[in-house]
Structures are given as C-alpha cells and as structure tokens.
Amino acid sequence: MQVPLQINFHDVPQSEALETRIREKAARLGTFYPRIMSCRVAVEATHRHKHQGKHFAVRLDVRVPGKEIVASRDHHEDVYVALREAFDAAKRQLEEYAHVQRGDVKTHVPPPPAAPSEGV
C-alpha cells in the first residue's frame, strides 16, 4: 500500500487487538491488488437497537487508480464479524476490478446495424 492506513473509531473504545486485526486485513488486501493508493476504515457502534445490545458498522474506502471501492457492513453484534465481512466484500470488489483491468472479463460488442433492404 502506498499511503498509510487511516482507522477511525466512533463510539467504540479503541482496542489494540481490533486495530491489529484491521492492519492485518488491510495488508492482505494488497495481495489481491498491489496498487492500492489509500485505505480508510471506520468502525462505529450504532444506537438504533436499544433493547438488543450494541451493533457495529464497518465502512471501508479503498482508493485505487481510476476507482474508489466502498464496502460496508452494518448491524452486527460482533465487531470482528462486521470487520471480516466488510473486508471480504472489499476483496471481492478488488478482484473483480483487477480482472476487468487485465481484460479477463469479456465485453459484449453490440451487433452491427442491419443494412437497409432494397426495394422498400
């Protein structure tokens, strides 16, 4: 990764274990697409479910040349599950973007227009 990772916590106590997990997962994203320019991770506790306990939301903004990939996962009671699912979604998007850039994905060319018929 060319630019350092940015991690923001909103209404979540900052944990060294959680921050370490985020750094590991962000570094692993670089193996799927090495030209990542920046990665921002936001972890927040949502306050919508007062009777069901805390729920967490994780949002990733990954900037690559020519595109910004956004992945988010909301409403998980376990912050590590929300983190894993958000990074998995970002990984799938990065892999798809890499396939398109390499030309592995077929593009369908529309058929040529029909020639005008004679005698009409």
Q: Where are the domains of the chain?
A: 5-102
Share of the chain above pLDDT 70, in %: 84
Under a CB-based contact definition with an 8 Å cutoff, are residues 60 and 86 in contact? yes
* Other C-beta atoms lying within 10 Å of the C-beta of residue 21: 16
Residue 72 CA from chain centroid, whole number: 7
Residue 31 CA from chain centroid, whole number: 14
Mean pLDDT of 62-80: 88
In this prediction, residue 107 has a pLDDT band, given cuts at 50, 70 and 90, of: low
| pLDDT value of position 34 | 85
Return the structure tokens found at 78.
């376990």
With respect to CATH, is domain 5-102 assigned 3.30.160.100?
Answer: yes
Closest CA to 94 of 53, 19, 102: 102
51 or 23, greater pLDDT: 23
Mean pLDDT of 75-87: 88
Mean pLDDT of 82-96: 92
* Position 1 pLDDT exceeds 50: no
Return the structure tokens found at 111.
């058929």
